Amino acid sequence: MRYFSCDCTSADGNPVALFFENTQCLSCQRQVGWCFEERDMLVFDQNKDGGFHYKGRDYVPCANRANGVCNAMIPADTISAKPALCFACHFNDNIPDLNVDGHAELWGNLERAKRRLLFTLDSLSLPMPDKQQSPEGLSFHFMADKDASDHFRTPLTHVAAVFTGHAQGDITINLAEADDVARHRMRVDMGEQYRTLLGHFRHEVGHFYWDLLIKPDEAKLTQFREIFGDPDLSYQEALDKHYARDPDDQSWRSEFISAYASMHPWEDWAETFAHYLHIIDTLETAREWDLIDFGKYAGLTLPQDDGPCDPQRLIDCWSEFSVKLNALNRSMGLPDAYPFVNNPVVVGKLKCVHSMLNKTR
C-alpha cells in the first residue's frame, strides 16, 4: 500500500498521514476519501451546499459511504447510474441484510479488505471484468448463515452453512468471517496459523485469475502442470482426503505454503497467489514508510512499479523483511505477522505466479 498524507501540517510540523480507510483528516477535520479513478486519497474542500470539490472538480460519495462501509469518492462527471457506486462496490451482487443488528459493521470489515484487494490488483494492471463485460466476470456475494450459531458448531465441515469460495467469477464470503471471534474460532478449529479477511479475498481472487488467465492458455497450463501438478485431479476426492488426514502429519511443509495448499493444485495456486499479494503489498508499504532500503537489493523494483522486477531479489528482500516484521509483532505481544516458511519449492511456485501475472501486463 502506498503512503498518503493530507496537505495540512500537524501541531509538531510533520505531515499528517492518511490511512487508506480514512474518511476524515484527524488534524484539519476535512473529509477525505479514496478515489479509484484518480488512484489517490483526496482531501476535499466543501462549500456551503455540502458538495465535495477537489482541484476544481466535483465529487460524489459512493452510496455506501453513507452506510459507513465505504470511503470512496467518485468524480461527478463520470456517474451514469443511480445510486452512485464506486468501482469496488459496483461488483457487489449480494450484501448482508442491514436490518440485522451488527451486519453493517461486519459488512464494513469486508468492504475494507475488498478495497485493499482491488487496490493491489489495479496496481498490477490485472484485468477486472465485471458481469456486464463477461458472464464469468467478477462479483461478490456476502452471505450470512441462516442460523448464526452455525459457525460456532464443530466440526465445521458438517455444517450446512454458507461456504466461502469461488465459482465462475462469483466470490462468496461468509459474513461470519468478518466477525473477529467467529474467525478466531474457525482458525483454531481448522488448525491454521493465519486467517484474515484480506487473506480470504486474495485466495478466492486467485481462483478467479486461474480461470481467466491460465485455463484458456495452453502454454500457461503446461507451465502450471510442471510447477503445481495436474489441475484435472478430482477435487471432491482431494477434499475428502484433506479432511480425513491426520492433523499431526506435517509432511506438507516440505513442498507447500500451508496444509490447505497441499489439498489440490487449484488450492496450491490460490494459496500461493494470496502469498504473492501479501508479499508485494507489504513490501510496498515498508518502502513507502521508509522501513526498508531497497538499495541493498540492487535497486529492487516491485511488480507494481513501472519496469522489470527481479523475482529472486523480491524473495530475498521478503525473507529479510518478514523476520523483522515478526520481531516487531513479538515486541507488541502479538503473534507473528507472517508465520510461514518459504522453502525452495514454495519459492519456485511464487516465481511461477510472478511470471504468469507479469505476462498479462
Residue numbers of the site for Zn ion (CB under 5 A)? 6, 8, 16, 25, 27-28, 62, 64, 70, 72, 86, 89, 267, 270
**Shortest distance, position 238 Cβ to Zn ion, whole Å:** 11
Closest approach of Zn ion to the CB of residue 152, in Å: 23
Q: Which is nearer to Zn ion, 14 or 125 (CB)?
A: 14
Nearer Cβ to Zn ion, position 10 or 223?
10
Tell me whether residue 70 or residue 176 sits nearer to Zn ion (CB atom).
70
Question: How far, in Å, CA of 200 to CA of 117, rounded?
Answer: 10
Task: For 289, list phi and psi in degrees, rounded to 5.
Answer: -95, 15
For the bound state, the minimum distance from the C-beta of residue 21 to Zn ion, rounded and expressed in Å, comes to 12
Nearer to Zn ion, 92 or 223 (CB): 92
Q: How far is the CB of 258 from Zn ion (least distance, A)?
A: 11
* Contact assessment for residue 144 and residue 100, using Cβ atoms and an 8 Å cutoff: yes
Please, what is the minimum distance in Å from the beta carbon of residue 163 to Zn ion?
10
Rounded Cα distance between 214 and 223, Å, is 9
Q: How far is the CB of 16 from Zn ion (least distance, A)?
A: 5
CB of 127 vs Zn ion, minimal distance in Å = 20
CA distance 51 to 69: 20
Report the largest interatomic distance among the alpha carbons of the chain, rounded to a whole angstrom.
66
Residue 175: count of CB within 10 angstroms of its CB: 25
Note the Cα 311 to chain centre separation in Å.
20
Among residues 272 and 322, whose Cβ is nearest to Zn ion? 272
If one counts every other C-beta atom within 10 angstroms of the C-beta of residue 65, the result is: 20
CB of 67 to Zn ion, least distance (A): 9
Three cell numbers, residue 294: 531497497
Nearer to Zn ion, 263 or 317 (CB): 263
Nearest Cα residue to 144 out of 195, 182, 118, 113: 182
Q: Tell the smallest beta-carbon distance from residue 332 to Zn ion (Å).
A: 27
Question: For Zn ion, which is the closer residue by CB, 265 or 311?
Answer: 265
User: CB-based contacts of 165: which residues, under 8 Å, 6+ apart?
Assistant: 171, 172, 204, 207
- Residue 173 Cβ, how far from Zn ion at the closest point, in Å? 12
Q: Which is nearer to Zn ion, 267 or 284 (CB)?
A: 267
- Quick one: 166 or 220, whose CB is closer to Zn ion? 166
Which residue, 18 or 283, is less far from Zn ion as judged by CB?
Answer: 18
